Copies of this chain bind each other. A is one copy, B any other.
Amino acid sequence: MTFMTAARTTPADPPQLGLRERKKIKTRQAIRAATYALIEEQGYDATTIEQIADRAEVSPSTVFRYFPTKEDIVITDAWDPVMTEELRTRPLDESWAATLRHVMRTALDRSLAEEPEVTRLRTRLGVEVPAVRARMIESTAATGRLLRDALAERSGLDPDSLELRVFAMSVMGGLMEVSHYWAETGHRDDIRDLVDRALDVLEHGLPTGKA
Whether A162 lies near B198 (C-beta < 8 A) is: yes
10 closest pairs, A vs B, by CB?
A173-B173, A134-B134, A170-B174, A169-B177, A170-B170, A166-B174, A166-B198, A169-B173, A170-B173, A166-B177
Q: Is A44 on the interface with B (CB-CB < 8 A)? A: no
Whether B177 lies near A208 (C-beta < 8 A) is: no
Contacts A151-B206, A163-B197 known; list 19 others, CB within 8 Å: A96-B210, A155-B206, A156-B208, A157-B207, A157-B208, A162-B177, A162-B178, A163-B207, A164-B206, A166-B174, A166-B178, A167-B206, A168-B177, A169-B174, A169-B177, A170-B170, A170-B173, A170-B201, A173-B174
Q: Is the interface of A mostly helix, strand, loop or mixed?
A: helix
Query: Chain B residue with minimal CB distance to A177?
Result: B169
CA distance A163 to B211 in the complex (A): 12
Query: Chain B residue with minimal CB distance to A203?
Result: B211
CA distance A170 to B181 in the complex (A): 14
CA distance A16 to B75 in the complex (A): 52
Q: Which residues A188-211 have CB closer than 8 A to chain B?
A: 194, 197-198, 201-203, 205-208, 210-211
Q: Which residues A119-151 have CB closer than 8 A to chain B?
A: 130-131, 133-134, 137-138, 151
Q: Which residues of B contact A162 (CB under 8 A)?
A: 177-178, 181, 194, 197-198
**Contact partner, A155, options B138, B165, B175, B210, Cβ 8 Å:** B210
Known: A197-B163, A210-B155. A177 touches B181 (CB 8 A): no
CA distance A168 to B208 in the complex (A): 15
